[in-house]
Each structure stands twice: as structure tokens, then as C-alpha cells.
């Protein structure tokens, strides 16, 4: 078997692996949007099938009754007026909080614009009214005994109406913390203050729900926090570049929960010290309880006016607040980019939302090295080039073995062509003669394959490192490349990469099989088109690797040819 043919198979297998991993592991058919969504608070008036409380967590030990007639401060979503919103602005977050439920209905990220040439337009992470994507929270009161007061009058769900002192809050110059408190009053003297604390330079929001029990009997209830996401409009990304949009949770092990899986099998499991999240390319939102808190993690699908909607959340154990006392629930919400160092400090396993797949053990050290190189040179494109050089140096000896085998094959190619001419279509005699030639010249036709096989996992790991790292989003390189996470707008890098593949082929022994020769001639064109839609950072890596391979292969080939002539 010719070395050239094996290399072709390896290249095709590598591409097919990338396609299979992106498609099979994370992505299946996604639900389609069924109807447009209004851009006002009216979007929340259409409730999922099953009644206005069907989007609350399953009560289990803390019971929840059917909706009671509307009460002051406990109006149902179907009868309440459109809620007002509270605008909160810090240096890293631009947030809207609804007075219905105290839900976070919009999150913009001013430090992460939508595109490099739209610096004044922040990336919108959450939008409950348009995308059905928001962070909801509330409480469920235990129904202890019988009486005329329903649990909904003693604990505010995310359908209850809150009041607020101001409609806008801004982080003051020189201040490090901004607090926003919403108030709810229920029956029998029970009231709740929901407070969000924002901190300068942080995407982490701290939330507390303080229960003031002014009644004459103990208050017993749980808090819940959930992330809600509407229908997914389809896969976004370049050709065969698909990124995961879906839920995830951590219970000592990182688990992804695609929306389709939620549709087929709702989640309900105990969780201690874990978290729940919704992921998309480069960004994540996550409810993160304290490390010792015990919760019930749940996920389910609802049918709303938008089509299917997906909820993943946490429900805490019950808290008892004695008459005349105050008890509080606390939790945290992260809403921002997948910054691994930041996420690792917030909660165990949270950095795993930057998902490098099954080759994480290789990808993480590569990213660590890439970060340190960038800290020295200050340019992510240059850092990619230098990282590629270092990888090439590590595999230099293995690559040398491969290229030496190719060079020897190239040197005896005229004799191989003569054997093919002599034996014609007699495959058996031709193979015997070629094996004899290999033995005589001490050529191992498989000698160049093992080094390639060993390097493939590293190539794939670096592929996912460059694809998943938010640090490369809108990172400029040189001249026309303003964003290494986007395709080359003028296709310069893909064309150069295709040219480098042609040069590599000229250094390799030409295939004796005419059909295989035509396939090899077409391969640079196919890869050029394929890589034209890849992020330019990935193409830059591949081009750099090809150029280094050409230099190494040229030196070795010339050395072998000189030895042969001598």
C-alpha cells in the first residue's frame, strides 16, 4: 500500500471526524420557530399549556395548589397589566428586570459588541420577550393544613407582581457595588424583598430573597431558580462549524442536556453543590448555588405561543421562618462570556462549559500555552503561529520519519513506474516486485503513517481550542483580518492554504494510479473551498503548519536525493 494513499485516507478521516463530532455528538434536528413574538411585555401573557403555574418546578415535598382568584400583589399573568421593567447599567452588564416575578428579562454585554465594526452595539445574551431566553426565580410555599389563604398569597412565584423604588439604576463612578431591591407583599403580613447585587468588572450577579414573616404561624417554603429558553431558530455558524446551544448541569460531572433530550425525558434529580446552565457559542448563563446547598435539579419542555420552550432549574430544600423573624435564600447568576479562569473561581466544574470535547485533556494545556504566548506577544494571530511552531518542534522527529519515508518513495518512483509498465494489470506480480524493491532499498511503506496518526489528536484538540475560546472572538490579526473567529472576508488565507497543499503534493511521490492522481489533484481545491468558511484563526493554524511542513519536507527530500545521487 502506498504511503501517499494512506495520507489521503488520514486527511479525509480527519475531516470526517470533525463533521461527525460536530453533528452527532452535540446536534440533532432542532425545533423550528412557529410564530413571531411581540416585542413587549404582552409576550408573557400567553402561558404554556397546563395553566399559568405549569412552568413552576414540580412541588413534591413543597406543595403548590391550583391558581387562586387574583389577590393584591399575586395577580396571575393572564389578568395582570403588562409589567414595568427596571433598567440596570454597570460597566459590564446592561440588564432589564421585570416587576413581574423580579425576572431578568434582558442582558446585554457592553464589553462584547456584536461585531468588531459595531462597537456601540452590545451582544444581547438574554431577551425573554423576543427569544424566550431569561432568568426566572421565585418561591413556593408549603400548604400546611387547610384555610382560605392559598400558598400563592404567601410566597411570590415568577408570576407575582413586585414594586420597586426606581426605574433605573446605574453603577456610580468610583462605586464597586450596585444593589437593586424589589418588594412584594402577600397575605397575613408576609412580605419578600428580592435583591440583586451587581459588582464592578463582574458578570456574576448575587441574588437574595428575604422573607419577612409578620404572621402568627411559621412560614415554610423553598426558592427556585430557572433558566428559560425559547425555540432555537436553527444552527448558526460557518460551513460544518456548529456550536452547542442547549442546557447543561453539574453534579460532580459535567453533563450536557440538549433541548431535544429535555423534550423526550424531563430531568428530575437531587444535586448538591452543582449548577445548571444554558450554553451557546462563547457565552453562558448559569444559576450557581452555594457549594453546600442541596437542590432538586429539574428540566422540562413547555408549549407556549412561540412553540416549544425549555426550562432548566434548581429548587432548594424548605426553609422555616418563625413568626416575627426574617429568613433569606441566596444564590448567584452568571451571565457572560465563557472565561475559563473566571468560571473556575465561581464554582467547581463551571469552566467546563468551554467544551473541548473528548480531547479536553490535550486541549486545555494547548489553551494554557496559547494564553501565555499571547501575554508575551499581545496578538492572538501571532500567538497561534508561535504555538504551531512549538507543536511542530515537539513532533519534529516523528514528522522527520514520515517525510524521510516519503522522500525515499519519491527517489525510487521511476523504478516503481517501470515495474508498473512491466507487469501491467497483473496486480499480484506487481505487488511482489514492489515489496522486493522496498526490501532492497530498506523502505517501510508504512513508516510515515504512525507519526501522522499520533499527531491527529493534537490537531483535533487545537481545532476545538481555537473554535471554543471566547478570547479569540473579535481578536484582530493583521490588515484585513479584524476577527480571528470569523472567516477571512477576502479568502486570502484559504487560497494560500490551498497553494501550500499543492506545493506539498509536489514534494510527495506522485501516485501511480491515475484515478488516485486525479483525486490528489482535486484535494487542494476541495480543502480550499472547505476552509474558506472556517474561522480565520483555524485557517491560519493550518496554513502555518503546512508552511513548516513544506520547509521540513523540502530539506529532508533534498538530503535524500543527494544521498541517492552520491
Residue by residue, pLDDT tens for the chain (566 residues) are 344 444 454 555 555 555 444 444 443 333 333 333 333 333 333 343 434 456 777 544 333 333 333 333 344 443 445 579 999 999 999 999 999 999 999 999 999 999 999 999 999 999 999 889 999 999 999 866 545 678 888 999 999 999 999 999 999 999 999 999 999 999 999 999 999 999 999 999 999 999 999 999 999 999 999 999 998 875 544 445 677 899 999 999 999 999 999 989 899 999 998 999 999 999 999 999 999 999 999 999 998 777 899 999 999 999 999 999 999 999 999 999 999 999 999 999 999 999 888 888 999 999 999 999 999 999 999 999 999 999 989 888 877 777 777 777 777 777 877 887 787 777 787 888 888 887 777 776 665 565 667 777 887 888 888 889 999 999 999 889 999 988 999 999 999 999 999 998 887 766 666 777 777 788 889 889 988 988 899 899 989 988 998 998 888 777 766 776 65
- List phi, psi (to 5°) of 104: -85, 110
Same domain, 397 and 289: no
Q: Is residue 45 part of a domain?
A: no
Q: What is the DSSP code (8-state) at residue 47?
A: P
> Could you give the number of structural domains in the chain?
2
Q: Which three cell numbers stand for residue 236?
A: 448558526
For residue 345, the model assigns a pLDDT of 96
Query: Does residue 65 belong to any structural domain of this protein?
Result: no
Q: What is the pLDDT of residue 54?
A: 63
* The predicted structure's pLDDT at residue 53: 52
- Cβ neighbours of residue 435 under 8 Å, at least 6 residues apart? none
Q: Which residues span the domain enclosing 301?
A: 31-38+81-234+243-355
> What local confidence, expressed as pLDDT, does residue 466 receive?
86
* pLDDT score at 397: 80
Cell of 512: 501511480
Residue ranges of the alpha helices (H) in 424-491? 427-441, 449-468
Instruction: Say if residue 455 is in the same domain as residue 334.
Output: no
301 and 413 in a single domain? The answer is no
SS3 of 521-540: the string is HHHHHHHHHHHCCCCHHHHH
Structural domain contains residue 59: no
pLDDT of residue 198: 98
Q: Is the dihedral of CA 50, 52, 58, 64 positive or negative?
A: negative
Give a yes or no: residue 410 inside a domain: yes
Report yes or no on 49 lying in a domain: no
| Same-domain status, 326 and 392 | no
Domain boundary residue, one of 355, 372, 388: 355
Q: How many CA atoms lie within 13 A of 42 on its CB side?
A: 5
Residue 73 lies in a domain: no
What pLDDT, on a 0 to 100 scale, did the predictor assign at position 60? Answer: 46
Smallest Cα–Cα separation from 193: which of 213, 177, 176?
213
Query: Does residue 341 sit in the same domain as residue 378?
Result: no
**Of 391, 526, 528, which is closest to residue 465 (Cα–Cα)?**
391
Predicted confidence at residue 418, as pLDDT, reads 82
Residue 177, domain CATH: 2.70.98.90
Is the domain of 329 the same as that of 430?
no
Q: Which of these three, 324, 355, 386, is where a domain ends?
A: 355
Amino acid at each position: 500500500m502506498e504511503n501517499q494513499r494512506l495520507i489521503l485516507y488520514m486527511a479525509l478521516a480527519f475531516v470526517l471526524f470533525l463533521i461527525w463530532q460536530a453533528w452527532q455528538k452535540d446536534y440533532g434536528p432542532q425545533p423550528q420557530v412557529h410564530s413571531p413574538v411581540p416585542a413587549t411585555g404582552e409576550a408573557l401573557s400567553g402561558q404554556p399549556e397546563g395553566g399559568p403555574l405549569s412552568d413552576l418546578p414540580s412541588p413534591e415535598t413543597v406543595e403548590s395548589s391550583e391558581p387562586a382568584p387574583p389577590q393584591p400583589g399575586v395577580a396571575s399573568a393572564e389578568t395582570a397589566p403588562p409589567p414595568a421593567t427596571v433598567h440596570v447599567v454597570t460597566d459590564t452588564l446592561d440588564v432589564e428586570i421585570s416587576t413581574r416575578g423580579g425576572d431578568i428579562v434582558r442582558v446585554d454585554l457592553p464589553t462584547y459588541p456584536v461585531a468588531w465594526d459595531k462597537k456601540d452595539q452590545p451582544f444581547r445574551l438574554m431577551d425573554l420577550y423576543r427569544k424566550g431566553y431569561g432568568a426566572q426565580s421565585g418561591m413556593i410555599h408549603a400548604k400546611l393544613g387547610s384555610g382560605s389563604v392559598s400558598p400563592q398569597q404567601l410566597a411570590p412565584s415568577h408570576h407575582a407582581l413586585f414594586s420597586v423604588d426606581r426605574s433605573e439604576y446605574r453603577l456610580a463612578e468610583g462605586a464597586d457595588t450596585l444593589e437593586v431591591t424589589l418588594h412584594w407583599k402577600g397575605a397575613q403580613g408576609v412580605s419578600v424583598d428580592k435583591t440583586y447585587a451587581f459588582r464592578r468588572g463582574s458578570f456574576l450577579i448575587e441574588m437574595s430573597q428575604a422573607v419577612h414573616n409578620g404572621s402568627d404561624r411559621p412560614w415554610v417554603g423553598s426558592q427556585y431558580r430557572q433558566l428559560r429558553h425559547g425555540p432555537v431558530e436553527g444552527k448558526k455558524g460557518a460551513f460544518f462549524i456548529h456550536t452547542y446551544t442547549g442546557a447543561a448541569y453539574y453534579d460532580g460531572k459535567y453533563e450536557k442536556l440538549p433541548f431535544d433530550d429535555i423534550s423526550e425525558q424531563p430531568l428530575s434529580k437531587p444535586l448538591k453543590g452543582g449548577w445548571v446552565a444554558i450554553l451557546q457559542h462563547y457565552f453562558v448563563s448559569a444559576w450557581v448555588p452555594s457549594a453546600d446547598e442541596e437542590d432538586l435539579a429539574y428540566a422540562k419542555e413547555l408549549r407556549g405561543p412561540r412553540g416549544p420552550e425549555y426550562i432548566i432549574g434548581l429548587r432548594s430544600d424548605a426553609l422555616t421562618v418563625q413568626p416575627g423573624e426574617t429568613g433569606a435564600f441566596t444564590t448567584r447568576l452568571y451571565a457572560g462570556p465563557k472565561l475559563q479562569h473566571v468560571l473556575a473561581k465561581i464554582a467547581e466544574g463551571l469552566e467546563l462549559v468551554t467544551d473541548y470535547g473528548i480531547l479536553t485533556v490535550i486541549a486545555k494545556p494547548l489553551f494554557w500555552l496559547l494564553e501565555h504566548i499571547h501575554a508575551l506577544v499581545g496578538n492572538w494571530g501571532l500567538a497561534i503561529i508561535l504555538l504551531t511552531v512549538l507543536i511542530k518542534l515537539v513532533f519534529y522527529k516523528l514528522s522527520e520519519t514520515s517525510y524521510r519515508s516519503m522522500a525515499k518513495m519519491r527517489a525510487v518512483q521511476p523504478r516503481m513506474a517501470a515495474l508498473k509498465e512491466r507487469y501491467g494489470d497483473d496486480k499480484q506480480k506487481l505487488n511482489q516486485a514492489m515489496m522486493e524493491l522496498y526490501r532492497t532499498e530498506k523502505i517501510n511503506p508504512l513508516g510515515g503513517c504512525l507519526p501522522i496518526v499520533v499527531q491527529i489528536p493534537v490537531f483535533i484538540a487545537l481545532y476545538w481550542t481555537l473554535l471554543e475560546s471566547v478570547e479569540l472572538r473579535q481578536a484582530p490579526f493583521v490588515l484585513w483580518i479584524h476577527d480571528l473567529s470569523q472567516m477571512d472576508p477576502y479568502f486570502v488565507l484559504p487560497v494560500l492554504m490551498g497553494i501550500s497543499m499543492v506545493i506539498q503534493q509536489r514534494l510527495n511521490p506522485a501516485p501511480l494510479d491515475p484515478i488516485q492522481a486525479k483525486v490528489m489533484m482535486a484535494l487542494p481545491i476541495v480543502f480550499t473551498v472547505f476552509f474558506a468558511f472556517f474561522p480565520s484563526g483555524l485557517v491560519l493554524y493550518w496554513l502555518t503548519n503546512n508552511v513548516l511542513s513544506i520547509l521540513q519536507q523540502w530539506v529532508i527530500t533534498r538530503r535524500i536525493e543527494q544521498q541517492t545521487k552520491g
